Amino acid sequence: MTNSAASRLIETRGVTLISFDLDDTLVDTDAAAPARFEAVLRAVVEAAPATDRALLTRAHERALAADPIIDGRLGAFFAVLGVTGESPVGQAARRAYNDILPDVLEWMDGAPELLARLHGRYRLGIVTNGPSEIQRPKLDKFNLASLVDAVIVSGEVGVHKPDAAIFAHLLHATGVPAGSAAHIGDSLSADVAGAHAAGMTALWLPPRHRVAEERAADIAPPDAVLASLSDLASL
């Protein structure tokens, strides 16, 4: 098994805590988007049967092409449709979008194997942005809380990535100093910038299904880039 740059870095820096982002790092929300919007379209047609079908098709296409981090798929959908998320149609769409997610969500490639391999060799954590009621069903589907030492959800602690304070919750919960901790995530602005702000090693897993956000000038490059989670299989 090849020893990737990322796993060498973890070993040479004496990392004992490995933290993961959830969405599009451990679980594949990008791949779930088409199924989620099938549910959204059904909900919109049910809530507002008179909705112009051509407009709906355009909103659907725009949503799937949107960058979920920068503008959000649902936001792009609402913008084309000319509704707000608070309107009755918007609320029905949002409910459908969120409710179906745990059912259609799958692991990212290599994630369960990697967590099983690291279990007992490293302290493990998850640091995720989002409301508890949306993040917890995803965590529960894969029993993730039982596979790691600590789960930090931004909606539960009141701070979100890239704020170093959310990583401080994880470091406190696991008793590991920042210099011995690494975080892996798909977002440069949330995961890489946040891990660095907290004094942790930052590993970037670029998005597989979409173009990565451009790295802002004030965000330092990640310490290593992963081709996939299997890059860490030699740890």
- Options 10, 17, 18, 24; binder of Mg ion; rule CB under 5 A: 24
d(CA 24, CA 34): 15
d(CA 147, CA 150): 9
Three-state secondary-structure class, residue 82: coil
- Options 7, 21, 27, 171; binder of Mg ion; rule CB under 5 A: 21
d(CA 77, CA 90): 10
Which of the ranges 19-27, 31-39, 50-58, 161-169 carries the binding residues for Mg ion, by CB under 5 A? 19-27
Instruction: Tell me, residue by residue from 161 to 200, as one string, x for binding to Mg ion by CB under 5 A and - for no binding.
Output: -------------------------x--------------
28 contributes a contact to Mg ion by CB under 5 A: no
How many other C-beta atoms are found inside a 10 Å radius of the C-beta of residue 218? 7
CA dihedral 222, 224, 226, 231 (to 10 degrees): -150
Q: How far is the CB of 23 from Mg ion (least distance, A)?
A: 4
149 contributes a contact to Mg ion by CB under 5 A: no
- Options 4, 10, 20, 23; binder of Mg ion; rule CB under 5 A: 23
